[in-house]
Amino acid sequence: MSVPILLSYIVLGFTLAAPIGPVNSARLDKGIKNGFWHAWVVGAGSMIADAIFMLMVYLGMVQFLGIPVVQIFLWLFGGFILIYSGLESIKGASSITLTYSREKDSLFKCFVIGFVMSITSPLSILFWLGIYGSVLAKTAQTSGTEQLLIYSSMIFLGLTFWDLFVAGLTTGFRKLLNVKSLIAISIFSGISLIAFGLYFSYQGITALL
């Protein structure tokens, strides 16, 4: 097992987490308004959900996620959470100051937001089934169970690096921005979350009908 191969799986995990989506929008919002730890905790919640998906794929439990009733629930509940979080972000934008209180959002609340956004996201499920499932299938052909666990750990390490990167980035941005910029970013993040929520809801209603 060579170092370049291990590094390639870390890079895979990093890039898997990078696309702009609901969780990264929430990271941006919480990090700029509250600081490093709030952004990191949103990502930590998301990573726990990712770990559950990885475990389900690894254990071959993915057929449960293919049940239509389960998919409809995930679309609708995920849509509700995203729309609620987006509205809350926009509503709270008017009260932002450069000394934004860290108590405005508790770390636990941020963790729950990250976890629920990921665990109820059918897009995350399809993402992990497609990407991680194919990685497992490819690795299983040439490697044993021990190597599968190592490669999976490297992917998760990549996710962790992305979370730290975004948390540090938002904290750095926050020091360079004025109140108007913070408010604009908060509103943009909120609109982004609502847009994702409406898309999820539409998919859920379409599947239901």
Query: What is the model's pLDDT at position 200?
Result: 80
Query: What is the model's pLDDT at position 156?
Result: 85
- DSSP for the chain? --HHHHHHHHHHHHHHH-S--HHHHHHHHHHHHH-HHHHHHHHHHHHHHHHHHHHHHHTT-GGGGG-HHHHHHHHHHHHHHHHHHHHHHHHHHTT--TT--GGGS-HHHHHHHHHHHHHT-HHHHHHHHHHHHHHHHHHHHHS-HHHHHHHHHHHHHHHHHHHHHHHHHHHHHHHH--HHHHHHHHHHHHHHHHHHHHHHHHHHHHHH-
What gap in Å lies between CA 166 and CA 152, rounded to an integer?
A: 22
Query: What is the model's pLDDT at position 171?
Result: 74
Query: What is the model's pLDDT at position 64?
Result: 67
What gap in Å lies between CA 153 and CA 183, rounded to an integer?
A: 38
What gap in Å lies between CA 159 and CA 144, rounded to an integer?
A: 23
What gap in Å lies between CA 96 and CA 68, rounded to an integer?
A: 42
Query: What is the model's pLDDT at position 100?
Result: 47
Could you say which residues of the chain have pLDDT below 50?
Answer: 100-102
Among the listed residues 202, 201, 177, the one whose alpha carbon sits nearest the alpha carbon of residue 80? 201
Tokens 């194919």 -> residue: 134
Query: What is the model's pLDDT at position 106?
Result: 83
Q: Whole-prediction pTM value? A: 0.68
φ/ψ of residue 36, rounded to 5: -55, -50
Question: Where on the phi/psi map is residue 59: left (φ > 0), alpha (ψ -120 to 50), or beta?
Answer: alpha
Query: What is the model's pLDDT at position 102?
Result: 43
